[in-house]
Amino acid sequence: MSVPGVRLAGRLVGGAIDVAHERAPGFSERAYRTVAVPLMLADPAAAAQAVEQRLDGTRTRVAEMAARGTVPTAGARRVRRDLARTRTDIEHLAPRLPVVQARCLTVRSTSYDDVLQKLSDPPVRRGGQSPIWDVAVLVAALAAWIGVFLLITSPFNAALLGLVAGVGTALFIARIRTRRAGRVRIGALVEALVRADAVAIGPTPASLSGLDRDRQVLGGRVRASGRLDERGGNALGSIQAHLDDLLLRLVEGDLKADGAHLVQATVERYLPDTLEPLLALSDAQYAARGHLAAAEVADQLTSIDVALADLARRPSRVNPEQQLFRQGEFLRSKFGG
């Protein structure tokens, strides 16, 4: 089968799935869950990546709608279905994902839900797009076309032809204005989705979820090496606990610029600059300036821990309701239930 044929078949199958979901959402979701849930539990990391790709696909579809200035019924139905499945997927995945990754997915999905609530609503008429303006366009088009046809035919024929041409012209202009208004309205939704992504995953791939992944990988390598002494291990555990809380607060916009800088610098420089030399040593018992390497690293980790603990004690910038919600999400992500 040719590539266009494959694409057409894919669209037909996707459309059939969308219609089935719209007509019998309960049955459609049960069928999806029967297949999806075991796969998610078997590989939560891959499932989380699939959720992120689904959200990326949703943003792309909305951007395509903005370019056209219209919201196709099938497209709106697909967006609603994907958002509903994403919410349920995250509920299953959150207890099995790193705390920060789970929170980033939750914030992003919730933001998408909020932004796209009114995706299918018609554009609101404003200013020059009032009914009076539309009537004025129709009258002007009728008068112009009748005047043109009077120059080349009888008054009766001019009136008849002018009526048809004038109505057609008015409809054409109205359609152009409607599409333009749709582009503006849906384009604003796309911009809101981009802002939501900047909050949930950071402005660059290296921030937030990337920071969380990097520090988890480094911590796992160090613990597996067995080169930390007891004091260093306790300090690293405390640092990781502080970073859990601080990265969540960073997602919530609850850290000032200096606090956000400290969190980023800790993950990108302070921890690697402290731990990588320890991992690179050929002899873990290497002593310099009267200190064992493990003891020196423990001192450095303690300094980092003190700085992060001081930042974690700063008063929250958000209201108590948001603090309560964030704490609940943290506990559910960490312990489940």
What letter does residue 125 receive in the DSSP assignment?
Answer: P
d(CA 188, CA 190): 5
Q: pLDDT value at position 1?
A: 42
Query: What span, in angstroms and rounded, lies between the C-alpha atoms of 189 and 196?
Result: 10
What are the DSSP calls for 10-69, one per residue?
HHHHHHHHHHHHHH-HHHHHHHHHHHHHHHHHH-HHHHHHHHHHHHHHHHHHHHHHHHHT
With H, G, I as helix, E, B as strand and everything else as coil, classify residue 152: coil
Rounded (5°) CA angle 19-25-28: 80
Amino acid 4: pLDDT: 54
User: Is 332 within 8 Å of 250 (Cβ atoms)?
Assistant: no
pTM: 0.61
Please give the average pLDDT of every successive group of 10 residues along the chain, which has 337 residues. 48 53 62 72 84 89 84 83 87 84 85 82 53 76 82 83 84 78 80 78 61 88 90 94 88 82 91 92 68 87 94 73 65 67
Tokens (6 digits) for 143: 């008068």
Q: Which helix (H) or strand (E) holds 78?
A: helix 73-93
Give dist(CA 299, CA 267) in Å, integer: 17
Comparing C-alpha atoms, which of 84, 111, 101 is closest to residue 330?
Answer: 101
- Write phi, then psi, for 288 (nearest 5 degrees): -140, 135
Burial class (CB in 10 A: 0-12, 13-18, 19+), 277: middle
- Least Cα distance to 332 among 36, 74, 90 occurs for 90
What is the structure's pLDDT at 309?
Answer: 93
pLDDT of residue 218: 92
pLDDT at 72: 83
